[in-house]
Chains A and B, each alone.
Chain A
């Protein structure tokens, strides 16, 4: 079974995000960039399926300029077998990404596609769902457990009320939640091996997908500063405040 894992280059989760002074976006100069944590979980899940003998090949794909090769190398060091960079300088949004991925899926014919449920830079939570719709594949989103058997994949999903398990016929799209697994660290020998694994570069323009975005960023502002808390004297005061100030209980 072949698994396709799309990975995104995103600002490292440890970096204190700074908004550009002109409010056009996040200041990425010199910021440490990493593989989006949800995508890393996706890679890990694929590698585990391969280690279990379920998967035979893992292909990592990333869309962006040459810099994304760094994240693809990380995916290769974590255990992907080969990588594809869909080369573009444009900042795409979810729909273009999903459309490009659809073309990659047509070429690669994977039986399972595992994506992160969202990326920590834009938090859209759309690409997996869009890709499923475009390819007509069933989807299991927010996975906290994945098991493959007899041409199907069972996905335990984290939903508001608890857990829901869906059984999908392959080929299918799965998006990962945080609790699916704890990704391994890229070991030194695997970092070395990753250097020799194949990484193909394909021009985004060659896929015949319109890369024009329908979404316009109007303004980016930092979240409001958190205000300092207050100490309450006793439970009665706390209840009073919750009732009358915060109005969260009645």
Chain B
């Protein structure tokens, strides 16, 4: 029904109006690029996403991949989509020219990814996982391993996976049991089981490169004893070509509520004691390597959640314009449901959640670009700390609110939304994964509360405050000022509460403190997203003061301002409950006993 995956102005607004992405072209790393190139690339992304990915989103949901004991089969369309993506060079987009990449800014890659995530998150996963896995190899593997695997991952001839989770160790990776035993020739033999591994088996590529977390004999306990290995599905022969089948096998496919087009696999390593693996970097540093690449991955998950939410919002919007139901008070004429205030409330909420989350993830992507290009050491550490601080928010807030948006899209469609004839129920099911994987939102809240707020003497928080204050100086319009006022008050309240949180974490209050981690995340994230809406309102109110604005642009900017007002009036005040809970460190949850349920 909605003709465009994304509002035609949204990406340029995010890229060029909220963030001065063109300015990146003056940095050495991006000097080859210009806005013209970025726009042409976005165009290709939009086209491939619309033509090759979107059309089979529902079909992929209805036709899960199948495993007959030998081979996994799936819709032909998935392969066609994957091939179009890889042949266009998107997998290599962010990599160096020297590695066969395009040296594109993460911000631009993010914009491109938005089209694919909105079109078909399941089919997109294979390519995205490959880029992520190649990124780890690129940074930490030896030149020899890099040569063997990375170039063909960047062309998509090989695909990649991240094999971390085990049946008994998900959130707590310290407890993994997969063993890697060193051999005389420097390689390792792996043995163990992994579960939920996305893209762990399929026929889309010539080889699958699993990145596997495992322990070596005698390794230290806990996270300090974990190493990272490359385990290919096919071992490379003397010519570097995929040859003998490695001893890693598919124990079975996992059947999920959403993301059904992506294979979720249970994998067995070393059933026949012949699973060859190759150590990445140094022993015992595996988890560190993974986590160093985690910022991008976590931003990616939050962004995906915002985009699936956004897709539902656009669908519900079109539906609400078409569906005639009820009358305005005192009138006999039936109206489209978008005329009803309550329906507008639901649409505005979706817009506020998704475009707020989107703006934050773009901001995070920009920090990744800054980190890669800023030379001044003190600016770099401030950037790094801010990115570290915002990453759990980028992951958790959009993945909490994206599914809420999808829930409202269902509500806007009424009975139709609950049926399988309409796509919104699938969006909701797909999006429901995002609070769970890449570190559950519970784990993100703990990360924020116990680590990120304090790390490096709270340099991240300090930097954040400075940036918000700088942006406040620009906030001149009516709605921008309203947000500015509210944010000023909330920020200072949050700061007043901080010492109490710190104290609780180091006392017998620890249990109630941890039980209220969600409140710390909520309060903090609401401030951050409020800041994002203040930025969007500032730009839009300024734009609206121009005289020769055409009608489409006017509508667009008014929409942004109205959503900012919605956020200020309806969403931001919910922060009060969280403040109160943080202040009282209420023990309703922590004092509850398992037997009392």
| A188 near B552: Cβ-Cβ < 8 Å | no
Is A122 positioned at the interface, with any CB of B under 8 Å from its CB?
Answer: no
Bitwise, B84-122 to A at CB < 8 A (1) or not (0) is 100111101100000000101000000000000000000
Assembled-state Cα–Cα distance A16/B36 (Å) = 25
Is B271 positioned at the interface, with any CB of A under 8 Å from its CB?
Answer: no
| B552 near A32: Cβ-Cβ < 8 Å | no
Assembled-state Cα–Cα distance A16/B552 (Å) = 14
Contact (A14, B3) CB under 8 Å given A29-B550, A73-B40, A74-B40 = yes
Closest-CB distance, B417 to chain A (whole angstroms)? 23
| B40 near A191: Cβ-Cβ < 8 Å | yes
**Which residue of A32, A73, A185, A195 has the most chain B CB atoms within 10 A of its CB atom?**
A185
Is B44 positioned at the interface, with any CB of A under 8 Å from its CB?
Answer: yes
Assembled-state Cα–Cα distance A191/B88 (Å) = 10
Closest residue of B by beta carbon distance from A194? B40
Closest-CB distance, B11 to chain A (whole angstroms)? 12
On chain B, the residues within 8 Å of A14 by CB distance are: 3-4, 50
| A191 near B552: Cβ-Cβ < 8 Å | no
| B88 near A188: Cβ-Cβ < 8 Å | yes
| A189 near B102: Cβ-Cβ < 8 Å | yes
Closest-CB distance, B522 to chain A (whole angstroms)? 38
On chain B, the residues within 8 Å of A15 by CB distance are: 3
On chain B, the residues within 8 Å of A77 by CB distance are: 40
On chain A, the residues within 8 Å of B47 by CB distance are: 185
Closest residue of B by beta carbon distance from A14? B3
On chain A, the residues within 8 Å of B488 by CB distance are: none
Within 8 A of A (CB), among B361-414: none
Is A187 positioned at the interface, with any CB of B under 8 Å from its CB?
Answer: yes
Is A84 positioned at the interface, with any CB of B under 8 Å from its CB?
Answer: no
Bitwise, B163-179 to A at CB < 8 A (1) or not (0) is 00000000000000000
Is B334 positioned at the interface, with any CB of A under 8 Å from its CB?
Answer: no
Closest-CB distance, A142 to chain B (whole angstroms)? 23
Contact (A192, B36) CB under 8 Å given A16-B3, A29-B550 = no
Q: What band does the interface of chain B fall in when counting residues whose beta carbon is under 8 Å from A?
A: 20 to 34
Assembled-state Cα–Cα distance A184/B44 (Å) = 10
| B37 near A195: Cβ-Cβ < 8 Å | yes
| A186 near B552: Cβ-Cβ < 8 Å | no
| A185 near B8: Cβ-Cβ < 8 Å | no
Is A214 positioned at the interface, with any CB of B under 8 Å from its CB?
Answer: no
| A29 near B552: Cβ-Cβ < 8 Å | yes
Is A30 positioned at the interface, with any CB of B under 8 Å from its CB?
Answer: yes
| B40 near A186: Cβ-Cβ < 8 Å | yes
SS class, residues of chain A in contact with chain B: loop
Bitwise, B1-31 to A at CB < 8 A (1) or not (0) is 0011000110000000000000000000000
Contact (A185, B40) CB under 8 Å given A14-B3, A30-B553, A192-B32 = no
Contact (A188, B44) CB under 8 Å given A14-B3, A73-B36, A195-B37 = yes
On chain A, the residues within 8 Å of B41 by CB distance are: 188, 191
Assembled-state Cα–Cα distance A15/B552 (Å) = 14
On chain A, the residues within 8 Å of B36 by CB distance are: 70, 73, 195
| A191 near B84: Cβ-Cβ < 8 Å | no
On chain B, the residues within 8 Å of A184 by CB distance are: 87
Closest-CB distance, B557 to chain A (whole angstroms)? 13
Assembled-state Cα–Cα distance A199/B552 (Å) = 32
Contact (A192, B84) CB under 8 Å given A14-B4, A14-B50, A30-B8 = no
Closest-CB distance, B22 to chain A (whole angstroms)? 15
Assembled-state Cα–Cα distance A184/B87 (Å) = 10
Within 8 A of B (CB), among A55-90: 70, 73-74, 77
Closest-CB distance, B261 to chain A (whole angstroms)? 21
Closest residue of B by beta carbon distance from A184? B87
Closest residue of A by beta carbon distance from B556? A30
Q: What band does the interface of chain A fall in when counting residues whose beta carbon is under 8 Å from B?
A: 20 to 34
| A185 near B550: Cβ-Cβ < 8 Å | no
Assembled-state Cα–Cα distance A187/B101 (Å) = 12
Is B574 positioned at the interface, with any CB of A under 8 Å from its CB?
Answer: no
Assembled-state Cα–Cα distance A195/B32 (Å) = 10
| B3 near A30: Cβ-Cβ < 8 Å | no
On chain A, the residues within 8 Å of B43 by CB distance are: 186
| B37 near A192: Cβ-Cβ < 8 Å | yes
On chain A, the residues within 8 Å of B550 by CB distance are: 29-30
On chain A, the residues within 8 Å of B141 by CB distance are: none
| A188 near B48: Cβ-Cβ < 8 Å | no
Is B34 positioned at the interface, with any CB of A under 8 Å from its CB?
Answer: yes
On chain A, the residues within 8 Å of B40 by CB distance are: 73-74, 77, 186, 191, 194
Q: Which residue of the partner chain, among B8, B9, B50, B88, contacts A187 with CB atoms under 8 Å?
A: B88
Closest-CB distance, B156 to chain A (whole angstroms)? 12
| A32 near B88: Cβ-Cβ < 8 Å | no
| A186 near B50: Cβ-Cβ < 8 Å | no
Q: Which residue of the partner chain, among B4, B50, B90, B551, contacts A188 with CB atoms under 8 Å?
A: B90
On chain B, the residues within 8 Å of A188 by CB distance are: 41, 44, 88-90, 92-93, 102, 104
| B8 near A32: Cβ-Cβ < 8 Å | yes
| B44 near A192: Cβ-Cβ < 8 Å | no
Assembled-state Cα–Cα distance A32/B3 (Å) = 12
Within 8 A of B (CB), among A191-212: 191-192, 194-195
| A187 near B34: Cβ-Cβ < 8 Å | no
List residues of chain B with CB under 8 Å of any chain A CB: 3-4, 8-9, 32, 34, 36-37, 40-41, 43-44, 47-48, 50, 84, 87-90, 92-93, 102, 104, 550-553
- Pairs across A and B, CB under 8 Å, 27 listed: A14-B3, A14-B4, A15-B3, A29-B550, A29-B552, A30-B9, A30-B552, A32-B8, A70-B36, A184-B87, A185-B47, A185-B48, A185-B84, A185-B88, A186-B40, A186-B43, A186-B88, A188-B41, A188-B44, A188-B93, A188-B102, A188-B104, A191-B40, A191-B41, A192-B102, A194-B40, A195-B37
Contacts A74-B40, A188-B89, A191-B41 aside, 18 further interface pairs with beta carbons under 8 A come to A15-B3, A29-B550, A29-B551, A30-B8, A30-B550, A32-B8, A73-B36, A185-B87, A186-B44, A186-B88, A188-B92, A188-B93, A188-B102, A189-B102, A191-B37, A191-B40, A192-B37, A194-B40
Nearest 9 CB-CB pairs, A to B? A188-B89, A30-B552, A187-B88, A191-B40, A187-B89, A188-B102, A29-B550, A185-B88, A186-B44
